[in-house]
Amino acid sequence: MSYMKMIISLCPFEPNENIPLVVAVAAAAVVVVLVVVAVVVVVVVVVIVVVVKVVVKLAVIVVMVVIEVIVIVMIEVVVTVVVIVVVVVVY
């Protein structure tokens, strides 16, 4: 099956005396272009969704790490203050 026949088979209407072959092929070409555009749009949307999910996961991990670091630093500060207070009180 040649490309021409395949494109004509995609045409929304059959070519006849009233509808020249050129118009039929043009209509079929438009259908093909629309299908290709639709597929590209779907692929782009899927890629964007996947990227957003990955970015959100990474952001959550980064936020958790930052919170852990802040908590550890606060604990160290509290321990240091307690040690200083104990040393000052004891002496």
Each of the 91 residues of the chain gets a pLDDT tens digit; together they read 466 666 666 666 665 666 677 777 787 888 888 889 999 999 999 999 999 999 999 999 999 999 999 999 999 999 999 998 888 888 7
First to last CA, the chain: 98
Q: Model's pTM, two decimal places?
A: 0.46
Neighbours of 11 (CB within 10 A): 20
Question: Domain spans of the chain?
Answer: 3-64
| Residue type (1 letter), 17 | E
Q: Is 7 exposed, middle or buried (0-12, 13-18, 19+ CB in 10 A)?
A: middle
Q: Which residue has the tokens 């040690």?
A: 83
